[in-house]
Amino acid sequence: MTAQIIDGKAIAQQVRAEWKLRADALKARGVTPGMAVIIVGSDPASKVYVAGKVRACAELGLYSIHVELPEDTSEAVLLAKIDELNHDPKIHGLLVQLPLPKHLNAHKVIEAINPDKDVDGFHEKNIGALVTGETPFPSCTPYGVMVMLEKTGIRVEGKHAVVVGRSNIVGKPMALLLLHKNATVTICTSKTVDLAKHTRDADILVAAVGRPNFITGDMVKPGAVVIDVGINRTADGKLCGDVDFASVKQVAGYLTPVPGGVGPMTITMLVANTVRAAERLSGLSK
């Protein structure tokens, strides 16, 4: 079997067009959705991600600002900037790019963001709401995976979904979103004993472990849907996922590539969450 490759770029374009209509409807009522991204320091990967976020906003006609703070920014200065943007009526979505320099407490910083502007869905209030299935802002990467599955016509209900990775950004929210759609969910980590026993039982396998080519063809059930969330760089600087594309392609039924798979969906859902934040803050939706 050769897997069908899921084209994340094409699906992202389609979903962006849908959200552009919602953004345009808001603009017709005098509200331009606005996003602010704060980046502290000069991590090269973070800079690339932030540039992609700002570009996506421009593509959909959203207002965006990009605040660059130096590596040695104090907690007080960062919190003051967050407070200023929390109160800026032109800004509906506010995020602080992670990872932060080591001297800053990411938890404290995230908790300072107004939960109604927390388009990453990282604030404890929104994580709590994610658990009950009520969050307005599902975390962008898992949200993008769910939309990608839906647009590909892959049903989740009743399937065994195995998530490899337990991060707050991807693994945990991914498992919850799958559970809300009535999947049977197993969460594994890179340290799970006999990991392949679990992954081989997956109808839907999500790899979010942050290790290059970690999931190999022998770990996949024939015909399974394999979603690769990893973005890693090999020693020669090439981008690769957590899934060994060449071997898994021979076994899986569906497979997402890196790049061009989950990545474009993540940014798309960030824009979607920003439009939803603008709708909510302007009283046009719940």
116 annotated active-site: no
Single-letter amino acid code for the residue at 190: S
218 annotated active-site: no
**In the range 108-127, which residues lie near ligand GUN by CB under 6 A?**
120
Long-range contacts of residues 179-182, Cβ cutoff 8 Å, at least 24 apart: 180/133, 181/146, 181/156, 181/157, 182/156, 182/157, 182/158
Figure out which of the listed residues 97, 126, 199, 268 binds ligand GUN, where binding follows CB under 6 A. 97
Site string for ligand GUN, 172-211 (x = CB under 6 A): ----------------------------------------
Figure out which of the listed residues 3, 113, 169, 252 binds ligand GUN, where binding follows CB under 6 A. 169
| Assigned token pair, 4 | 């069908």
Site string for ligand GUN, 24-63 (x = CB under 6 A): ----------------------------------------
Note whether 83 and 112 are within 8 A (CB): yes
88 annotated active-site: no
Task: Establish how many alpha carbons lie within 13 A of residue 199's alpha carbon, considering only the half-sphere containing its beta carbon.
Answer: 29
Q: How far apart are CA 16 and CA 67, in angstroms?
A: 24
Is 33 or 230 the residue whose CB approaches ligand GUN more closely? 230
Note whether 106 and 78 are within 8 A (CB): no
Is 6 or 140 the residue whose CB approaches ligand GUN more closely? 140
Q: How far apart are CA 251 and CA 200, in angstroms?
A: 11
Figure out which of the listed residues 12, 56, 95, 252 binds ligand GUN, where binding follows CB under 6 A. 95
Binding site for ligand GUN (CB under 6 A): 95-98, 120, 140, 169
- What are the residue numbers of the active site? 53, 97, 120
